[in-house]
Amino acid sequence: MRQASEIEVLAVPVSPETGRLRRITTAGAIYERLHADIVSLRMPPGMLLQEKRIADDFGVSRTPVREALLRLSEGGLVDIYPQSGTVVSRVPVSAIPEAVVVRKALEGTTVETAALIATDADIARLDAIIARQRSHAATGNTSSFHEEDEAFHEAIVQISGYPGIWTILKTVKVQIDRARRLTLPVLARMDNVVHEHTIIRDALAAHDATAARNAMIHHLSAVIPDVDELRARYPDYFC
């Protein structure tokens, strides 16, 4: 049986409180869609976001759209100009080194812990992810490659036994993710990422916590040099 979508549910008569909650849910769905499109660069920096068009696309009023855009603004992903409209924010270069420091601290710790307790099943899970990444790199499928990159890092956090850290990391690394979407096709970095992930995987399989941490730190450090080159190539994307 086909399930009703969030937007279809809005058409059902509901109490004021239920209606408010469903409006919030719809705003959340709009936020998630726009967030994904901005991070993936399907909506590039500088793109104008029209409230009416978004509302029409979702079949809703402008109210949940405004709520979603406000949330995106709070996260540094859009700039709202009352008289001009809303545009996708440029990537703030100054925020990236700080985000990298946080990632090193959190992922350096989780990968150390994961190395001490990783099971054969955990290593097999990482092997499967790396195999898919290798396949996507060979075909130049950057979108799927990035999804597997996310899966690799999330898997290590889960193996460590601290899954809540991934929630923190997703917020911290959002500007890094936007920049990294450019590094994959432009700098042909996919093969390097596969190699670096393999080194991390091997350290985990050997239960070598020190080697695992060092490999993760090296892997995350590669982001900053890439950004310098990308900024030169795409000056309109960065600020």
Read off the CATH number of the domain in which 224 is found.
1.20.120.530
Domain boundary among 88, 115, 133: 88
- Rg (C-alpha) for the chain, rounded Å, is 20
Domain boundary among 88, 119, 139: 88
pLDDT value at residue 185: 65
Residue 62 contacts residue 96 (beta carbons within 8 Å):
no
Q: Helix, strand, coil % (nearest 5) of the chain? A: 75, 5, 20
74, 130: one domain: no
pLDDT value at residue 84: 83
Residue 224 contacts residue 99 (beta carbons within 8 Å):
no
pLDDT value at residue 92: 93
54, 125: one domain: no
What is the pTM for the complete model shown?
0.80
Q: Does 49 map to a domain? A: yes
78, 144: one domain: no
82, 116: one domain: no
53, 148: one domain: no
pLDDT value at residue 86: 95
Q: Does 207 map to a domain? A: yes
168, 58: one domain: no
61, 102: one domain: no
By three-state DSSP, how is residue 85 classified? strand
Domain residues for 63?
A: 6-88
Residues of the chain with pLDDT under 70: 1-24, 184-188, 225
CA angle 58, 60, 65 (to 5 degrees): 80
Q: Which residue type is seen at 132?
A: R
Domain count across the chain = 2
72, 177: one domain: no
60, 110: one domain: no
13, 118: one domain: no
125, 196: one domain: yes
214, 175: one domain: yes
Q: Does 1 map to a domain? A: no
Domain boundary among 64, 88, 112: 88
Q: What dihedral do alpha carbons 63, 68, 70, 74 form, nearest 10°?
A: 160
